[in-house]
Amino acid sequence: MPIHYQTTLDRTFHALGDGTRRQILAILATEGVRSANELRAPFNVAQPTVSKHLKVLERAGLVTREVDGRVHRFRLNAAQLREAEDWLARHRGFWEGALKQLDHFLDEEDE
């Protein structure tokens, strides 16, 4: 697996590891492009706090920023989420198979 892929995936999962950032992504997914101020409103936090979350999401490639004067607007980048989903799908198959084998083994031990 290329180093770049691992770094990108690491950033994606780091960004998704925070509930506020997941909520920001949900807002962008359902409501479309939003300004930083519009994204801040539901959280009742200072603008610098939301700005830090947005920078993490942007570094992970999960959002893109458009600047219009002093207004920064953010858009969801679903392609990056699909990359994480593909990684999870590949590993889900392995773990489901391993759990089925464990279940079978435990059933045999009970008999």
Q: Model pTM? A: 0.78
Neighbours of 81 (CB within 10 A): 17
What pLDDT score was predicted for residue 1? 55
Range of weakest confidence among 1-10, 21-30, 69-78: 1-10
Domain total of the chain: 1
Structure tokens at 79: 């392609």
Sheet of strand 34-35, all strands in order from the earlier edge strand to the far edge:
34-35, 71-76, 63-68
CATH classification at residue 38 = 1.10.10.10
State residue 70 phi and psi, 5-degree precision: -95, -5
Residue-wise pLDDT for 77-109, tens only, equals 998 888 888 888 888 877 777 777 777 778 777
- For the stretch 7-23, pLDDT in tens is 888 999 999 999 999 99
**Domain housing 28:** 3-110
Distance of alpha carbon 71 from alpha carbon 74, whole angstroms = 10
